[in-house]
Structures are given as structure tokens and as C-alpha cells.
Amino acid sequence: MSSTFPVILVTGLSGSGKSTALRVFEDLGYFCVDGLPTAMLPKLAEMFQPKTTQHRGLVLGMDLRQSDFIQEWEEANQQLEKMGIDLTILFLECRAETLVTRYATTRRLHPLESRNLGLEQALEMEKEVLDPIRDSADLVLDTTDYSIHDLRRILQEKWTDIENNPRGMRVRVVTFGFKYGVPLEADLVFDLRFLPNPYFDEKLRELSGKDAQVSDYVLKTDPGSTFMQRFTDFMIYLLPLYAEEGRHRITVAIGCTGGRHRSVSVAESLFSQLREAGYSSTIEHRHLELG
């Protein structure tokens, strides 16, 4: 995040919610521009300074509608670095089958689609081309299961946290149910289906891992208590090693069968420990209400 004026790039797979994300930032008080030629990014960023605008920052929406997007992106990023502007990147993605459905519903063409390139091929090509930008993103959001309202709410929550913690390793903890699918954006995936399952206790079934009764059931006795201690120690050991390799964002996905009891209990405990250790951390329970 720039020390003078925040400059944010919103990009990702076409159809994954870029337009919605830009509207969210606009509502938050940012100046938003969509479809700006990448080469103009440094010039526009230079124009906007805190003394000359009432906006909180500059947000740019970019995608592969430009044929030379990647080359111009690399050059523009280098210029921004020379200017002392630390670009913050939000990358949106979505499962291919959901993107196909969205395009079929809107009847719009994908930017890379042509007579010789079908929609599914265009989606695959776009994903491959944008992978380097995804790897350097500050926040990656998989919008497959999000409504417009979900995306708005989560963006507001996550971006507030990033603004309050602009430096250091960022850890995003996501819980999920294996019956609903593993999050696409996960860097690390942990399967907790070996822990005792509160679902089979009628008194606990309707509760979640956020409730003390469920958390105690999962974590107060072995194997839960020993696992939680070793798991926390492992993550505290691991994160600095990723940071040394230049990683500044890690998404940790923690799953159980339904994503309601065991994964939530462990994730809440890990999230608390990471915060105490000084890490900028966020948490999302993706399938809690489904489980």
C-alpha cells in the first residue's frame, strides 16, 4: 500500500465479479476507472495525490481486453515501483463451470473468444496468462459461491482489514465442507475429518464451531487438543519460511465433512493464535450455513 495515496488494481478472470468489486470500492470512497490502458496506469497514479483529491485512493479495473496486457502490466509495475508506489492487487476468480453459466445467462462474449477459440478454451487461456498476477496478489477471492451481496460484504470486510494492516504476511483462513468442494484459492489444505464429529451428538448438531460447546467437544480432549497445539506451532513455524521466499499472502483452507463443526472450531482457534502472533489475518466460514 502506498504511503502517499493507495493505488489498487482489480483484475482476474472475466465474469468473476470485477464490475461489482469496482462499485464496492466506489461506495467506499475510491476513485474508480475501468478499462484503462495499462500503459497509462503510472501517469494516472501520478496525477492523484492526497492534496488534490477527496478520494481515499485510486482503483483500476483491468483485464485481457488489451492484447498486450501482460507486457504493458510488467512495464507499468516497474514504473510504479520507481515512483515509490506500492500497488495493491485484488484478484477475482471463479470455477470454470460457473463462468460458463454466467456467460450463457448474459449472452456476452469472453474477451478472448473468437471463431477459432471457444468459451472454455478462452477461459483456460485467460487463467494461464493471468497466473503470474494471481501469484503476486494481495487478496484472491473465489466468487463461485457468492451472490452480489456476498461479494460486497466480504470485500468490505477484507479490504478494511488490509487497510488497517498494510504490511507483513497476510493469512486468510477459510473453512469449507468437502461435500461442497475445496476452495480454489487455497495454498494449503488441511483435512480434519479424523477429529471427533459433533454432528453425531444431537445436542450439538444444530450448533457450530463458533459455539463453546462444540469447540470444547472438538479441542478440549485428544486427539483434538494435541493436534491443535501442534497445528498452531506448525503454522507459526511455516509462515516465516514462506515470507523469506517472497510470499506475502497465504490462504489456509481447513475442511471437514460439512464445514460447520470441526473445521470452524479449529479455524477460530488458529485465527486467534495468528492474531496474537502479530499476523494480519482474516477468516471466512464458507459453508457454515450449508453444513
Q: Is 127 assigned to a binding site?
A: no
66 is in an annotated binding site: yes
Q: Is 117 annotated as a binding residue?
A: no
Output the DSSP codes for 38-62.
Answer: GGGHHHHHHH--GGG-SSS-EEEE-
65 assigned ligand-binding residue: yes
The H helix count followed by the E strand count for the chain is 9, 9
Residue with cell 494461464: 128
Looking at residue 273, its pLDDT comes to 94
Place 185 in a pLDDT band, splitting at 50, 70 and 90.
confident
In 3D, which of 80, 98, 97 has the Cα closest to residue 89? 80
Taking residues 70-94, report their average pLDDT. Answer: 84
Show the cell assigned to 31: 476513485
> Any binding-site annotation on 14?
yes
Average pLDDT rounded to a whole number, residues 243-254: 85
Q: Give Dmax (Cα) for the chain.
A: 62
67 has pLDDT over 70: no
212 CB-contact burial (10 Å; exposed 0-12 / middle 13-18 / buried 19+): exposed
CA distance 105 to 113: 16
Say if residues 185 and 141 touch (Cβ distance below 8 Å): yes
**pLDDT value for 116:** 78
Residue 227 confidence (pLDDT) above 50: yes
Q: Is the pLDDT of residue 48 over 90?
A: no
Cα distances (Å, whole numbers) of residue 201 to 43, 198, 214, 224: 61, 5, 10, 17
Return the pLDDT at 1.
Answer: 39
Residue 157 pLDDT greater than 50, yes or no: yes
At 239 the pLDDT is 92
291 marked as part of a ligand binding site: no
Does 112 appear as a known binding residue? no
Classify burial at 259, counting beta carbons within 10 Å of its beta carbon; exposed 0-12, middle 13-18, buried 19 or more: buried
Query: Against a cut of 0.85, is the pTM above it?
Result: no
Note the pLDDT tens digit of each residue in 100-132: 888 888 778 887 787 777 888 888 888 888 888
The domains of the chain, with CATH numbers, are 7-167 (3.40.50.300), 171-285 (no CATH)
| pLDDT band at residue 53 using 50, 70 and 90 as cut-offs | low
Q: Is residue 179 marked as binding?
A: no
Among the residue ranges 63-72, 95-104, 211-220, the one predicted with the least confidence is 63-72
13 is in an annotated binding site: yes
- pLDDT at residue 52 tops 70: no
Residue 59 has pLDDT above 60, yes or no: yes
Confidence (pLDDT) at 2:
42
Q: Residues of the chain with pLDDT > 70: what percent?
A: 92
Average pLDDT of 223-244? 94
Higher-confidence residue of 60 and 189: namely: 189
Residue 18 marked in a binding site: yes
Instruction: Find residue 252's DSSP bridge partners.
Output: 173, 188
pLDDT at 274 over 80: yes
Q: Give the pLDDT mean for 154-168.
A: 68
Q: Could you give the C-alpha distances from 204 to 17, 37, 225, 289, in angstroms and in order?
A: 37, 55, 19, 15
Mean pLDDT for the chain overall? 86
The mean per-residue pLDDT over the stretch 239-244 comes to 87
Give the least confident one: 40-44, 155-159, 228-232, 251-255: 155-159
The Cα angle at residue 32 between residues 106 and 93, in degrees rounded to 5: 45
Comparing 266 with 17, the larger pLDDT belongs to 266
Q: Is 63 annotated as a binding residue?
A: yes
Q: Where are the alpha helices (DSSP H) in 107-246?
A: 119-135, 148-164, 212-219, 224-244
